[in-house]
Structure 1
Amino acid sequence: MDVMEPRATGTQAVREPQQDRSRATRRRLLEAAIDCLATLGWSRTTVAVVAERAGVSRGAAQHHFRTREELVTAAIEYGTEVRLRRMREHLDALAGRRPPTLDVLTLLAEMYTSPLFRAALQLWVAASSDEQLRARVVPLEARVGREAHRLTVEALGADESVPGVRETVQATLDLVRGLGLADLLTDDSARRSRLLRQWAVTLDMALGARAR
């Protein structure tokens, strides 16, 4: 006896394209919010400005995000997940081969000199003097920090059971974050490249087993 597959009802057929459009609109808003934060700063990044840049109505924007704080926090979370996923994909593509230390550092530096980092920095500054915004940002940054640390440990093949290794990895993340700050006002790429090359040597020596 043949089993017939259930047909989608008219309501279901309409709902799926609507859901697709809703997801696409939300994604455009998140990407536009990152762009606005990175180029305009916190004070000029309003829901109306983001909606205009995303090419949607203000009403549509507020359907997805009621407040600016909700919008920009979601945007940073979305953007960070994209960057971390790309880092994971890059590592997976190596098929178990450990990348050179300098390649890992360069990948991290790209994360912290991206428009996303500039946008996140605007959010951090605003959150430092806004208690409600800070309550949103702190848990997000803690989660992002843990994931970035985990991926860095994996990429470097570091053994955190060895005393001092965890702190060395964290110092590495602090270093590339600082290099991201140094790149805000002027192009710091030449100096950054020199520092990363030297830190790769230092890091291999500090991690010991990796250099052997």
Structure 2
Amino acid sequence: MVGGVRATAPGGRTASPPKQDRSRATRRRLLSAAVACLAEHGWAGSTVAAVAERAGVSRGAAQHHFPTREDLFTAAVEQVAEERQEALKALAAKLPPAGSVARTRTIVEALVDLYTGPLFRAALQLWVAASHEEQLAARVAALEARIGRETHRTALELLGADEGVPGVRETVQGLLDMARGLGLANLLTDDTPRRTRVITEWSRLLDTALPPPPP
């Protein structure tokens, strides 16, 4: 695309996207398909062939990007987790005013949402598989530790909480543990009514428990 006009090859044919762009697009499709497969079919039903078919690419192309099954699924969960993390950070610019009840509730809802969607379902399947497969365990443990640290740091930033104050770290970690528990409860049935009540109460508790951020 040059100056708003798609580039054409000699003879008037539309030029193909550069090879590097096609490769990145293929990789993105594979990662999205891998998360969807894990969330819907679990580890046992998520093969490289199934992901490749869902992504609309050949199995050979999938293995070119991700030589092993473990490479594919850990990369998929990592990629989507990073995207969710960026979206969570972007929330800071759209929050209600500091000190308002609506602000805390918006933050709590956003954190809970991390654990009630396809990404959490996919990650959970990966955890279960890692508990039985030694070659996967170390990779998943390291990945989850890093994601957990980043989520905790982002929660502190959004809440304007000072981790140096005694009890703040544990309070915020309790919030994330609660959110994960709500995600587990939502796996079997729609837990929306109870989740809404819990979010309301946790928001109130946080406003009471956390020292107000400096002006």
The TM-score normalised by the length of structure 2 is 0.87
Q: Which is richer in helix?
A: 1
| d(CA) in 1 for partners of 2:210, 2:146 | 25
Report the AA paired with residue 129 of structure 1.
H
Unaligned runs of 5+ in 1: 1-13
After superposition, residues 6-155 of structure 1 pair within 5 angstroms as 17-94=18-95, 100-155=103-158
Deviation of 1:16 after TM superposition, in Å, equals 7.4
| d(CA) in 1 for partners of 2:17, 2:30 | 20
Moved segments of 4+, more than 6 Å: none
Match of 1:8 in 2: none
1:177 to 173, 176, 180: 180
Report the AA paired with residue 132 of structure 2.
S
| d(CA) in 2 for partners of 1:96, 1:24 | 39
Match of 2:159 in 1: 156
Q: Residue 104 of structure 1 aligns to a residue in which SS?
A: helix
Deviation of 1:111 after TM superposition, in Å, equals 0.9
Q: Residue 18 of structure 2 aligns to a residue in which SS?
A: helix
- Name the stretch that deviates more: 89-98 or 18-27: 89-98
Deviation of 1:89 after TM superposition, in Å, equals 1.3
Q: Residue 100 of structure 1 aligns to a residue in which SS?
A: helix
Report the AA paired with residue 56 of structure 2.
G
Match of 1:198 in 2: 201
Deviation of 1:204 after TM superposition, in Å, equals 1.2
Deviation of 1:137 after TM superposition, in Å, equals 0.7
Question: Which digits, 9 at most, give the CA deviation of each residue in 1:54-87, with x for residues without a partner?
Answer: 0000010011111111100000000100100111
Deviation of 1:161 after TM superposition, in Å, equals 1.3
Seen in structure 2, the aligned counterparts of structure 1 residues 199 and 114 have a Cα distance that, compared at 3 Å, is: same
| d(CA) in 2 for partners of 1:153, 1:113 | 20
Q: Residue 103 of structure 1 aligns to a residue in which SS?
A: helix
| d(CA) in 2 for partners of 1:145, 1:15 | 41
Deviation of 1:30 after TM superposition, in Å, equals 0.2
Q: Residue 174 of structure 1 aligns to a residue in which SS?
A: helix
Identity in percent: 60
Report the AA paired with residue 79 of structure 2.
Y
Residue 96 of structure 2 contacts residue 103 of structure 2 at CA under 8 Å; is this kept in 1?
Answer: no
| d(CA) in 1 for partners of 2:58, 2:104 | 46
Report the AA paired with residue 33 of structure 1.
A
Seen in structure 2, the aligned counterparts of structure 1 residues 118 and 128 have a Cα distance that, compared at 3 Å, is: same
The TM-score normalised by the length of structure 1 is 0.88
Deviation of 1:135 after TM superposition, in Å, equals 1.1
